[in-house]
Amino acid sequence: MRVHIPSALRKWTGGRDVIALEPGADERLTAAEVIAAVAQEFPGIRDRVLDEQGALRRHVNIFIDGENARFLGELDAQVGRDSDIWIHPSLSGGGQAAQTAK
């Protein structure tokens, strides 16, 4: 499987845009396990994709072969051995972030 890294996180993968993982023939990985596998080699990835309780950050999406993992069980979503996984910042905007009163 191939994990596609967004440009904003390539600082933490030595500039690599795709990380190849090769699970065993009988090994089934979840999205969480894919992130953990990438983070094992590139530790800067984990805390940027997941919060400290292990939840997918609100404005980060994971796509598995073109499907948003949020609709496939989120971090429990199953990933095929030949899947393409994309970590992608949400296309969000126009909100009140950092606009609230201090």
Q: Which residues bind another protein (CB under 8 A)?
A: 8-9, 11-12, 43-44, 46-49, 51-55, 57, 59-60, 89-90, 92, 97-102
The alpha carbon of 99 is separated from its chain's Cα centroid by a whole number of angstroms, namely 27
* Closer to another protein by Cβ: residue 25 or 102: 102
Q: Which of 46/81 has CB closer to another protein?
A: 46
The pair of three-digit structure tokens given for residue 26, joined into one six-digit string? 């009988």
What is the nearest approach in angstroms of another protein to the Cβ of residue 49?
Answer: 8
Please report how close the Cβ of residue 46 comes to another protein at its closest, in angstroms.
7
User: What is the nearest approach in angstroms of another protein to the Cβ of residue 27?
Assistant: 25
What are the C-alpha distances in Å from 37 to residues 1, 2, 26, 43, 82? 12, 12, 16, 10, 15
Q: How far is the CB of 55 from another protein (least distance, A)?
A: 7
Helical (H) or strand (E) element with 33: helix 31-41
Length reported for the chain: 102
Taking the least distance from each CB to another protein, the nearer of 25 and 99 is 99
Beta carbons within 10 angstroms of residue 75's beta carbon: 20
